Amino acid sequence: MAEEKQPQRKKIQATGQMMKIMSDYFYDLNDAGQSATRKVAWCTSVGPAELLRAMGFAVHFPENHAAMLGATRMATELIPEANAIGYSPDICSYLTADIGAHLKGTSPLAKAYPGIEAPPRPDVLVYNTNQCRDVQDWFTWYAREFGVPCIGITSPKNFTDVTEILVDDVTRQIEALIPTLEEVAGENLDMQRLRETVALSRECTELWRQVLETAAATPAPLTFFDGTIHMGPAVVLRGTRQAVDYYRRLLAELEQRIAEKVAAVDGEKHRIYWEGMPVWGRLRQHSELFSELQTSVLVSTYCSSWIFPDFDANDPLRSMAKAYLALFIVRSDAYKEAYIKRMLEKFNIDGIIYHDAKTCPCNSNSRYGMPQRLEQETGIPSLVISGDLNDLRCVSDEQTRTNVEAFIEQLEERR
């Protein structure tokens, strides 16, 4: 067994600024929910947030709320509430935890942000099925609950190349959302404002890419576990100046770490790629486990999913369609494998961990032979750990620790 060390978690100084802008975001959202004039839209994580922001909506992301339910370990007890009204324990545990929280009248926002009780009531819900069908089911449930419209994009899936035909299809679907949104917002879409929002999203995404790519340095200045926290502004504030300013600051701090050879994990010996969702209720434990093993889990598909190089202010609607289609989760295995191979090389990776999340098949890429194919082609070994993003009943801490320790020993022997 690898020698045990006291884990050292190095605090990122910019965290304070991130918490402030996240707090401002949630209070603004809450104010919008209570205002007689401002409108609230609920949006999926890679839904048309740029369009909604440009039309003046305050935008709530239920997946972000569901991840908070996971991280605060409230989710597991809330999931049965949704099961009881017919939503299976086998489907997305973001959906079941979030609907469960609504049914129970509870929210992690209440504890984190005094004065806020729950997410604001929506005036409209807007989804994109580029990630999975669950988001449509999830939003449709709330549309019935609140008696408001639910509209969205039904995305093509499992394609290798983002072709013009696919982009035409999604562009038309985005255009078709506009009349309903204008009616709910009570104002017409201002194309100039949309261009500005797309430009800010592009800037945010570019800075986020640079932040994540600092982990290519040896030793890596940040880990996947840091990334899951610091991606907050990229998820809920893309299209805003605050997110851009935040990532400038974070990037400067990480570049400083590189210059001073500050490692996120002391004595970094192994460099791991994480494929799949985080286990939100175990972020700290997992971070400490790998630190003890002098192993840096430094790059992931998950955090990189908020990099959208296709956004283009000169062609806002079409470039939004391209960006939403280029998402990893919506692509074929052939594309995904080529992408992961590039990442393994770029980040000098010596092992891959696949998280097989019980309730999220779309984000679990270990089920159709990918680990075996990639290992054969690259010689880089992998480990599949079973778990879940939110439902801790699917997580065995003991088994995870035993399997991870054995895997790191295997990497040790290969050195």
135 binds ligand SF4 (CB under 6 A): yes
Strand ranges, E, within 5-47 = 40-43
395 binds ligand SF4 (CB under 6 A): no
Please, what is the minimum distance in Å from the beta carbon of residue 246 to ligand SF4? Answer: 24
Q: Name which position in 76, 131, 228, 294 contacts ligand SF4 (CB under 6 A).
A: 131
Distance CA 379, CA 370 (A): 13
Q: Name which position in 98, 123, 134, 226 contacts ligand SF4 (CB under 6 A).
A: 134
Please, what is the minimum distance in Å from the beta carbon of residue 65 to ligand SF4? Answer: 12
Q: Are strands 40-43 and 58-60 parallel, antiparallel or unpaired?
A: parallel
Where does this chain touch ligand SF4 (CB under 6 A) — which range of 22-30, 182-190, 307-315, 357-365? 357-365
153 binds ligand SF4 (CB under 6 A): no
Q: Which residues, in sequence order, are CB contacts of 176 under 8 Å at separation 6+?
A: none
Residue 66 or 251 having the CB closest to ligand SF4: 66
Q: Name which position in 32, 124, 132, 394 contacts ligand SF4 (CB under 6 A).
A: 132
Q: Residue 276 in contact with residue 386, Cβ under 8 Å?
A: no
78 binds ligand SF4 (CB under 6 A): no
What are the counts of helices (DSSP H) followed by strands (DSSP E) for the chain? Answer: 18, 8
Going by C-alpha positions, the residue among 22, 5, 70 that lies closest to residue 283 is 70
Residue 379 structure tokens:
């010689």
Please, what is the minimum distance in Å from the beta carbon of residue 315 to ligand SF4? Answer: 28
Residue 246 or 280 having the CB closest to ligand SF4: 280
Q: Name which position in 293, 360, 370, 408 contacts ligand SF4 (CB under 6 A).
A: 360
Backbone φ and ψ for 291, nearest 5 degrees, come out as -60, -45
Residue 208 structure tokens:
């986020």
Residue 76 or 131 having the CB closest to ligand SF4: 131
Residue 152 structure tokens:
């969205």
Q: Residue 349 in contact with residue 271, Cβ under 8 Å?
A: yes
Catalog residues that contact ligand SF4 under the rule CB under 6 A: 63, 92, 94, 131-132, 134-135, 360, 362-363, 389
